[in-house]
Structure 1
Amino acid sequence: MDAELNRRRIIAIARAAFADVGLDLPMREIARRAGLGIATVHRHFPARTDLVTAALAELVAECREDMQASLDEPDPWRALSGAVHSFAEHRLQDRGLNEALFGSHPAAAAFAVDRREQARAMEQLVDRAREAGAVRPDVTVEDVRVCLGAIASFRLAHSATDLQRLVELLLIGLAADDSTSPGISARLHRTHRQAIP
C-alpha cells in the first residue's frame, strides 16, 4: 500500500512540477518536492521517460473522460464548447505534459491511438453542432483544430483570465449567428462579458 501511495504521490508532484518548470526538471528535484529519496523515485520510475509516460497516462485518461462527457452532452453547442474549454483547462494545468503529448517527446508515441480517438470524437462533436445549426454552416473540424492550436500556443505568461478571453472569442467566431441559431450568440457574448474583469 505504501509503495502505491508513493507512486501516486510521485506522479502528482511530477505533474505539478512539469506544469510549473517543464519536463527537464531533474528527478532529484522531483524526489525532494515529494519528500522522498531519489532511490525511491527510481524504484518506481527508473528513467525520466517512465515518469513522463506515467504522468501522461493520467492526463490522457482525464482527457478521455472529458471527451466522453462532451459526447454524452445532449446539447450540441454545450458539447463542443465544453470540449474546447476542457482543452484550455488542461493547457493551464498541465503545460509541460501538453507540450509533450502534442510535440515530439518520445513518451507521446505510446498515446498515438488515444490522440486519433480524440480527433474522431472531436469530428463527431463538430458534425453534431453543424447539423444542429449551433455553429456556422461552413465550420469544419479543421477550423476547430486551428482554435485548439491557438489555445495550445497561448503564452502562459499572461493570466488565466486572458486565456479564458481567448477561448470565448474563438467560440464566438465558431458560433452560428442569431439568424441561424437563436440565443447562442447572446449566450456567448454574456459569458464573454463575465470573463472580462
Structure 2
Amino acid sequence: MTAKPRLRADAQRSVAKLTAAAVELFSERGLDCPLEEIARRAGVSTGTLYHRFGTREALIDAVVPDVAAAKLDAVVRHAEEGAEPWDRFVRYVEGIGALMADDPALGDVVTRRFADTPRLAAVCAESFARGHAFAAAARADGSLRADFSPHDLVLVFEAVAAQAAAVRHAAPDAWRRGLAFTLDGLRAAAARPLPVGPLTAEQAAAAAHRADQK
C-alpha cells in the first residue's frame, strides 16, 4: 500500500486553520454555514478549502465526528446514571435535545442533514444504539408505552430540533416545554391507540438521512 504523502508545513498550517474555523462556524451557524465564511475566518482562499477537502461533506466528516462523539458520549454516560429505566431514557432524550438546542451543528448531526458523511454516520449510529437500548429497557419495565418503536426516536429528535431552532433567539429554553409534553405522552400510563403504525427501517433512514433540503 502506498503511503499518503505528507503535507508541507504551510499546507499543514492551512488545514489546521481551516479545521479550527470550521469547528467554530459549524457550531455557531450549523453545518450549512457558507464555506466562503469558513475560508475567510481561516485566512485562506476558498480554493484552498476545496483543494484540501473537496466537498462540504468531506469537510464535515473530517472535522465534526470527534467533536460529536465526545458530546454524544457524555449524554450517554449521564443517562446511564439514571436510577430507573425511565430515568435513563428521559436523560438520554433530554440530553440530545440540549445538544441540539445549544449547538446548531449537533442539531444537523442528530437529524442527519448531510448523509454522505460515513465517519459521522458511525458516530450517530453508536449513540442511537444506546438510545434504542434505553427505550427497550423502559418498555420492558412498563414505564415507556409498549408501542414505542426505536424508529420513533427519529420523530422525537426531528421535533425537538425544529422547536429548538424556532425559539433559539426568542426563548432558548422553550423547547424543553414541548419535549416535556412529548415525554408525558410517551409514558405507558398515558398511552392511547395511535392513528398510524411505526416507521419502517427504510422510512426512518429516509427521514434521518435526508439530504440538505432546507
TM-score (norm 1): 0.66
2:44 equivalent to 1:37: yes
Corresponding residue SS for 2:117: helix
For residues 131-162 of structure 1, the C-alpha deviation after alignment (integer angstroms, 9 at most, x for no partner) is: 33332344443444432232133362323222
Q: CA RMSD in A?
A: 3.5
1:104 CA drift (Å): 5.5
Q: Is the 8 A contact 2:61 2:118 kept in 1?
A: no
2:99 aligned partner: 90
Q: For structure 1, which segment, 77-86 or 8-17, has the greater mean C-alpha deviation from structure 2 after superposition?
A: 8-17
1:85 CA drift (Å): 1.3
2:80 equivalent to 1:69: no
Distance 1:74 1:17, change over 3 A: closer
Q: Is the 8 A contact 1:15 1:55 kept in 2?
A: no
Letter in 2 for 1:56: V
Corresponding residue SS for 1:23: coil
1:39 CA drift (Å): 7.4
Q: Is the 8 A contact 2:144 2:187 kept in 1?
A: yes
Corresponding residue SS for 2:176: helix
2:180 equivalent to 1:172: no
1:121 CA drift (Å): 1.7
What are the residue-to-residue correspondences of 1:90-169 with 2, within 5 Å?
A: 90-96=99-105, 98-99=107-108, 102-103=111-112, 105-154=114-163, 156-158=165-167, 159-169=171-181
1:59 CA drift (Å): 4.2
1:13 aligned partner: 24
Q: Is the 8 A contact 1:17 1:25 kept in 2?
A: no
Letter in 2 for 1:167: L
2:93 equivalent to 1:81: no
Corresponding residue SS for 2:99: helix
TM-score (norm 2): 0.62
Q: Distance in 2 between matches of 1:155 and 1:112?
A: 22
Distance 1:148 1:17, change over 3 A: closer
Distance 1:92 1:79, change over 3 A: same
Identity of counterpart residues, as a percentage?
A: 19
Distance 1:48 1:104, change over 3 A: closer
Q: Is the 8 A contact 1:18 1:97 kept in 2?
A: no
Aligned length: 174
1:67 CA drift (Å): 4.8
1:125 CA drift (Å): 0.2
Letter in 1 for 2:131: M
Letter in 2 for 1:133: G
Distance 1:117 1:26, change over 3 A: closer
Which runs of 5 or more residues in structure 1 are unaligned?
Answer: 179-197
Q: Is the 8 A contact 2:115 2:121 kept in 1?
A: no
> Higher helix share goes to which structure?
1
Letter in 1 for 2:73: E
Q: Is the 8 A contact 2:76 2:92 kept in 1?
A: no
Letter in 1 for 2:142: G
Letter in 2 for 1:37: V
